[in-house]
Amino acid sequence: MFNRLKKLKSAFGPSLTKRRVAPVMTRLARDERGVIIIMFALLLPIMIGFIGMGVEVAYWFQDRRDLQAAADAGALAGAYEVAEDRVSSAEAVAQREAEANGWSSSNGDTILVNNDQINSTFPSSGNFDDDSNAVEVILTRTLQPLFIGYFMDNLTLTAGAVATVVAGATEACVLALGNGLSPGASAITVNGGVDVVFDGCTLATNSENSKAIKVSGTIQADCAYIQGGGALQEVGGGTLTTTKCSGTKTGQPEVADPYADIAEPSFADCGSNNGTAADSPLSADVYCKITVSGGDDLVMTEGTYFIDQGDFKVTGGTVTATDAAGVTIVFGDSSGGNNCGIVNVTGGELDMTAPPDEADTYTGILFFRHSSCSSSGGDFSFTGNSDSTLIGAMYNPGAGINFSGGTSVSGACLQLIGNQVTFSGDGTIGNDCDGTGVEPIAAGGKGSLVE
């Protein structure tokens, strides 16, 4: 029996073993379980490398942004020093502000400051490469790569910024344009024995004359700005006190005329229509002239009053135009010529408010005389103990605005824009112009990033 089984095993055993092992090996060869672990192990170093390079590149962008912020700060600080007539310190201040914002010379970073007034070097490129006020700051930083260091050498980052001096440090309530004046003439004059206070605003002139502002009285303002290289002339003990600036500033940006774009007025002939106190209350229309004599009281209703080749003349008496909608008096010439009238107030008293409505052509303007009008005899004149309260702008760009002979004028918001402005009378003029429609006059240099 035993021998028979042995023979049976020898006959079938190898075949049975083969039949059992072969399927097992086949299944084992086809089994993919655990392959992901092997693949992950193979790819892990590559993944870590890419993640590391991504983080490193992100740090580069962060460094680049920080370097740009430092360049911006340096250029802006340098331009501010130029605006404040402190050119000698502009480069040191630019470097100090760059360092305060992340740039550091101790790390091998470099800085280059370009400015015509500092080192006779203009910005290296851009729209301000001929601007003598423009300050360019260029910063560099060298980085030592980590992961990417296997593929490249050190990386150098560069950031640059340009700032220049632009108008807008303060708001002016007096702008003397100073066009075509004789060489010895001053654009703003304050004569002896008067005291003028500009509350919360500035004096500005675009005059290029050597004595653009002449003061023999007493005047106080936030700041005083002169576009050209001229200077303040204080005569006979006169004093100009600036409460928010360290003295009068010269070499300032040109101050833009806020009403220069208003078109020359066009209106019908006045015929024989004259406005007097007998017509009070007077309505908006075209007049040949408007006159008020001593003892008379004239009330003007809201609207725009056109005066055709004639004057607005007050000799004593009072004029009241305080309707909430406001009034504007426009001087012109219906014939298309330049024979325009003026404001002439002698000993009278005005209480007037300009239109605050932004839809009005003459928003914020009390008296308007276009630049096309003849300059000869074209000054606005307030004289002879007149006492007036005015809210709005007096606009006479082709001629002057004069206060003299004991005149006292005041206004919480009063702008004076003329070719010349002269004070021979006291006054307190403010700049509280919210809601009045008066256009701000951006004056005085301030640093501004431009590139």
Q: Give tens-digit pLDDT for 46-65.
A: 665 555 565 656 666 777 78
Asked whether the predicted pLDDT for residue 339 surpasses 90, the reply is: yes
- Looking at the DSSP assignment, which residues form a beta bridge with residue 346? 315, 383
pLDDT confidence band for 424 (50 / 70 / 90): confident
Q: Give 99-133 pLDDT, tens digit per residue.
A: 888 888 777 788 999 999 989 999 988 898 898 88
Asked whether the predicted pLDDT for residue 347 surpasses 80, the reply is: yes
Asked whether the predicted pLDDT for residue 8 surpasses 50, the reply is: no
* Residue, of 85 and 82, whose pLDDT is higher: 82
Helix 90-100 vs helix 35-83: angle between axes, to the nearest 10 degrees?
Answer: 150
Phi, psi (rounded to 5 degrees) for 73:
-65, -40
* Residue, of 62 and 393, whose pLDDT is higher: 393
Asked whether the predicted pLDDT for residue 147 surpasses 80, the reply is: no
Q: Give 64-79 pLDDT, tens digit per residue.
A: 788 889 889 999 999 8
Closest CA to 210 of 169, 176, 181, 239: 181
What is the model's pLDDT at position 429? 78
Give the three-state DSSP class for 215: strand
Distance CA 276, CA 299 (A): 10
pLDDT confidence band for 25 (50 / 70 / 90): low
Asked whether the predicted pLDDT for residue 311 surpasses 90, the reply is: yes
Question: Are 234 and 213 contacting, i.e. CB atoms less than 8 angstroms apart?
Answer: no
Phi, psi (rounded to 5 degrees) for 200:
75, 25
Closest CA to 419 of 176, 172, 173: 176
Distance CA 144, CA 161 (A): 24
- Per DSSP, helices labelled H in 84-121 are 90-100, 116-119
Share of the chain above pLDDT 70, in %: 83
Closest CA to 370 of 333, 401, 343, 403: 333
Residue type, position 142, single letter: T
Asked whether the predicted pLDDT for residue 257 surpasses 70, the reply is: yes
What is the model's pLDDT at position 355? 93
pLDDT confidence band for 398 (50 / 70 / 90): very high
What is the model's pLDDT at position 161? 92
Asked whether the predicted pLDDT for residue 28 surpasses 80, the reply is: no
Q: What integer is the mean pLDDT of 10-22? A: 53
Give the three-state DSSP class for 202: strand
Q: Give 207-230 pLDDT, tens digit per residue.
A: 988 889 999 888 899 999 998 777
Asked whether the predicted pLDDT for residue 363 surpasses 60, the reply is: yes
Question: Are 290 and 203 contacting, i.e. CB atoms less than 8 angstroms apart?
Answer: no
Q: What integer is the mean pLDDT of 229-250? A: 82
Distance CA 163, CA 169 (A): 15
Question: Are 225 and 205 contacting, i.e. CB atoms less than 8 angstroms apart?
Answer: yes
Share of the chain above pLDDT 90, in %: 38
DSSP-derived letter for residue 448 is E
* Residue, of 155 and 394, whose pLDDT is higher: 394
What is the model's pLDDT at position 46? 61
